[in-house]
Amino acid sequence: MPKVIWITGASSGFGMAVAMKLLKETEHIICVSARRAHLLDILARQGAHAFPVDVTKSDQVAEVRSSIQDAFGTIDAVLVNAGFGVYGAIEEVPENAVRRQFEVNVFGAVETIRNVLPAMRQQGAGRIVVTSSSAAHVSSAGMGYYAATKHSIRAIGTALRQEVQGLGIEVVMVEPGIVKTAFGQVAMDENYMAVEGSDYHGQMQQVKAFMLSAFDRAPGVERTRDIMVKALTDQRVKPVYRTTPGSFALNFASKVLPPVLYDAIVKQAIRRIRQHP
């Protein structure tokens, strides 16, 4: 029986790759959303049902949810994926940018989840797949606010998983490390904040060089995409999937190393990239 699947953040990166694969290789009914409607047209031409939405606007999210339910009678699975990264020093990122980071990555995700839950509870079945990150487990200089949003998502997803156990609803968290998508450009070109001449400037420049180099060497979307497709469609799923070697290593380092050693290793790694770009 085809599932009705809603993918947020489908105009680019993971969301688009997952939607494209589901459209090409499965019979499921695919609903996609993001702000840039013209990019969703690519998926609409392949048979997706496209809904322009800003996940920070609760009325828009509710409208998409009710449009999908009116058209197909149900929502079987959702990929809660829309998100972006703000980079900069904790003291220097402007308050409105910090708030926007949380509005999209945390409150936007929560809005989507809370919209699909009543229908899923009523039908006694449903799957909520959340795009988390290795940054749900670790944090480092320059990425504190982004990591904070993904730590929050992990906390919310874990609680939700326990709350809906027994209601027929499954919650799956996918935790990629750095992967080559538009995320890197959006973070480094549009949302990287360094104040010229400030005490943090040198360090933030190092962080930027490190991140640019990491995105340059990062793997493509394929493995993460395939795991997300599996998480949305397989009969049996695990609660958490880590999709890149980076996410295993970082997770392990943050768990086993004392904080002083963890700080020193992160600092050293950032410096080394700066010296050998």
Ligand X SMILES: NC(=O)c1ccc[n+]([C@@H]2O[C@H](COP(=O)([O-])OP(=O)(O)OC[C@H]3O[C@@H](n4cnc5c(N)ncnc54)[C@H](OP(=O)(O)O)[C@@H]3O)[C@@H](O)[C@H]2O)c1
Instruction: State the catalytic residues.
Output: 11, 132, 146, 150
Binding segment (CB under 6 A) for ligand X, from list 54-62, 203-211, 226-234, 254-262: 54-62
Q: How many chain residues touch ligand X (CB under 6 A)?
A: 30
Pseudo-torsion of CA 67, 70, 72, 73, nearest 10°? 130
Q: Could you say which of 12, 58, 67, 158 contacts ligand X (CB under 6 A)?
A: 12
- The pair of structure tokens assigned to 214 is 């990491």
Rounded CA gap, 58 and 212, in Å?
34
When asked if residue 176 is in the footprint of ligand X (CB under 6 A), the reply is yes
- The distance of Cα 66 from the centroid of its chain, to the nearest Å, equals 23
For residues 241 and 173, what is the distance between their CA atoms, to the nearest angstrom? 6
Binding-site string for ligand X from residue 108 to residue 127, where x marks contact by CB under 6 A and - marks none: x-------------------
CB of 108 to ligand X, least distance (A): 6
Q: Does 131 bind ligand X (CB under 6 A)?
A: yes
Number of other residues whose CB lies within 10 A of the CB of residue 261: 11
Q: Which residue reads 């499954």 in tokens?
A: 170
Nearest-approach distance from CB 116 to ligand X, in angstroms: 16
End-to-end CA distance of the chain: 51
Give the nearest distance from C-beta 56 to ligand X in angstroms. 5
Provide CB contacts within 8 A for 265, sequence distance 6+.
253, 257
Running DSSP on this structure, what letter comes out for residue 50?
A: E
Stretch that binds ligand X, among 121-129, 178-186, 188-196, 197-205 (CB under 6 A): 178-186
Q: Counting contacts by CB under 6 A, is residue 29 touching ligand X? A: no
CB of 274 to ligand X, least distance (A): 20
Where in 215-274 is the site for ligand X (CB under 6 A)? none
Output the CA–CA distances (angstroms, integers) from residue 162 to 159, 167, 237, in the order listed. Answer: 5, 10, 15
Q: Count CB-CB contacts under 10 A for residue 102.
A: 16
Among 3, 5, 6, 13, binds ligand X (CB under 6 A): 13
Q: Which of 152, 181, 191, 206 binds ligand X (CB under 6 A)?
A: 181
Q: How far apart are CA 64 and CA 119, in angstroms?
A: 14
231/238 Cα distance (integer angstroms): 8
List 81, 101, 140, 206, residue binding ligand X (CB under 6 A): 81
Tell me whether residue 10 or residue 240 sits nearer to ligand X (CB atom): 10
Q: Which two structure tokens, joined as six digits, stand for 258? A: 């004392």
**90 secondary structure, DSSP code:** T
* Stretch of 10-18, 157-165, 192-200, 252-260 lying at the interface with ligand X (CB under 6 A): 10-18
Confirm or reject binding of residue 34 to ligand X (CB under 6 A): yes
**Interacting stretch for ligand X, rule CB under 6 A, among 53-61, 67-75, 117-125, 262-270?**
53-61
Q: Which of 15, 88, 157, 246 binds ligand X (CB under 6 A)?
A: 15
244 contacts 219 by C-beta, under 8 angstroms: yes
Residues near ligand X (CB under 6 A) are 9-15, 34-36, 39, 53-56, 81-84, 104, 108, 131, 133, 176, 178-179, 181-183, 186
